[in-house]
Amino acid sequence: MAKKKTTKKNGSKKKNHAQLVEEVVKATRTNGKAVAGESFTPELADNFIKVLKRYKAIDYYDLGNLLECPPYVIDDLIVSHQDLGFGVAVENMKVSLARNRKIDKSQYDIGSGTKIKFGIASDLHMGSKACQITRLHQFCEICAEEGVNHILCPGDITAGYKVYKGQEVELFATHVDDQVDCVIENLPRGFEWYLLGGNHDMSFQINGGIHPLRVVDMERDDCHFIGDTNVDIGILEGVDAKLWHPTGANTLTRSYKIQKMTDLMTGEELSKLIDNPLNSSVRVLLAGHYHQNLCMISNGNILALMCGAFEGENGLTKRMGVTPNIGGYILSIEFSDAGGLLEYTPRFWCRPAIEDDWKNYVTKKVIKFVSKKNLNLKVA
């Protein structure tokens, strides 16, 4: 079973960095009196993020000199912004706005023995008018009936903003906070969720510094943000799954991209075997992004899947001539004691898209805005 995480912090989310900064400053005071280690202003916190956006990585002490503040203030700035969902990272005395995060793969072992069953739900795109939350709940009902406790999500949990031309008119929630609220309120309970950041999720961090999945991770104990784009996590002792969210359009041959990825993975696994015969472990590839489903064995011993989506047609998929495969997988696998594939059963649950399903699942914050347009909406 997955290791339990510590209780996450609860707190109201704000609308922009300036308001977040006010919360940071307020949180570091007690009865109006500054507590030890707090002396930064909203202006300093704003400059802190501006500097990190400008430099890929800046020396810890150079950052202090540039902002003209002592180390303990830099420490406060780093910790406070991390607590609010900013991807601030410190490694080898270098401070940066992280695009990715390093994890202990064993932290996420989700089974024991040689058999495992888990769910896969990719590309939820919460905040999009094409998102299929009803279908996601129906899929999760099947998962619960099948005894599934863990669901892996290979990217694009949120819809992001301005990821492609014209996307902003296809969203019912445009702000990062509203999309985060949509995930927190509508992601089905009763499972442990493992969330990979995709290009849509990362659009908020690239443009504003806040990663929506870091906030979801803090707000819900059953949600685990594992990193961005390409992350290996443990599913059994000595067996890993690679969650991958590529970029760009797929090719005419649907399997081509994952075949190329498994070729690369095979080379990496052979390198591991040369260095350490017991270190070869990646046996499952779960690919998001393409909104298509496919299951294949590649290079003999890697099970590769395109994982479908829970978003219907949008402006981009229509222009590209892509019909999304709405649904998710329930995947059962048996491995040998050495970690090799013995048997697998991929069950893809698929359904047609529900038109305007988003109207049943807008958050309380968003409903105040869209109700001005006299839409018949309700909060789930």
The predicted model gives 51-77 an average pLDDT of 84
Looking at residue 160, its amino acid is: G
* Residues 79, 143 share a domain: no
Provide the number of structural domains found in the chain: 2
Q: What is the pLDDT of residues 155-180, one digit of tens each?
A: 999 999 999 888 999 999 988 889 99
Tell me what percent of the residues of the chain surpass a pLDDT of 90.
Answer: 37
Output the domain CATH number for residue 49.
1.10.10.10
**Residues 31, 245 contacting (CB under 8 angstroms):** no
Strands (E) located in 239-281: 239-244
| Nearest-angstrom CA–CA distance, 89 and 93 | 10
* Residues 281, 186 share a domain: yes
Predicted local distance difference test score (pLDDT) of residue 185: 92
**Residues 133, 308 contacting (CB under 8 angstroms):** no
Predicted local distance difference test score (pLDDT) of residue 19: 54
Residue at a domain's end among 78, 97, 116: 97
Band (pLDDT 50/70/90 cuts) for residue 41 is confident
* Residues 156, 81 share a domain: no
- The first and second tokens of residue 376, run together, are 């018949």
β-strand pairing of 293-298 with 282-287? unpaired
In the numeric block, the tokens 């081509």 are attached to 256
User: Has residue 370 been placed in a domain?
Assistant: no
The predicted model gives 318-332 an average pLDDT of 92
Q: What is the pLDDT of residues 99-151, one digit of tens each?
A: 555 555 556 667 778 899 999 999 999 999 999 999 999 999 999 999 999 99
* Residues 354, 318 share a domain: yes
If one compares 46 and 350, the residue with the highest pLDDT of the two is: 350
The predicted model gives 212-234 an average pLDDT of 90
| Nearest-angstrom CA–CA distance, 190 and 226 | 19
Predicted local distance difference test score (pLDDT) of residue 7: 40
Q: What is the pLDDT of residues 265-315, one digit of tens each?
A: 666 655 554 454 445 577 899 999 999 999 988 766 789 999 999 999 998
Which of 1, 38, 45, 37 lies closest to 19 in space, CA to CA?
A: 45
Q: What is the pLDDT of residues 338-355, one digit of tens each?
A: 888 889 999 999 999 999
Among 138-142, 183-187, 259-263, name the one with the lowest average pLDDT.
259-263
Is pLDDT of 80 > 70? Answer: yes
* Residues 203, 159 share a domain: yes
Which of 205, 133, 127, 134 lies closest to 168 in space, CA to CA?
A: 127
Residue at a domain's end among 41, 64, 97: 97
3-state secondary structure of 280: coil
Predicted local distance difference test score (pLDDT) of residue 15: 42
Domain that holds residue 83: 17-97
pTM of whole model > 0.85? no
* Residues 178, 154 share a domain: yes
The predicted model gives 311-325 an average pLDDT of 89
User: Has residue 303 been placed in a domain?
Assistant: yes
Which of 71, 62, 158 lies closest to 363 in space, CA to CA?
A: 158
Is pLDDT of 14 > 90? Answer: no
Predicted local distance difference test score (pLDDT) of residue 377: 44
Determine whether 335 is exposed, middle or buried from the number of CB atoms within 10 Å of its CB (0-12, 13-18, 19+): buried
Predicted local distance difference test score (pLDDT) of residue 52: 82
* Residues 303, 345 share a domain: yes
Predicted local distance difference test score (pLDDT) of residue 43: 81
Predicted local distance difference test score (pLDDT) of residue 6: 40
If one compares 87 and 215, the residue with the highest pLDDT of the two is: 215
User: Has residue 154 been placed in a domain?
Assistant: yes
Choose from 109-113, 202-206, 208-212, 311-315 the range with maximum mean pLDDT: 311-315
User: Has residue 7 been placed in a domain?
Assistant: no
* Residues 109, 86 share a domain: no
* Residues 358, 340 share a domain: yes
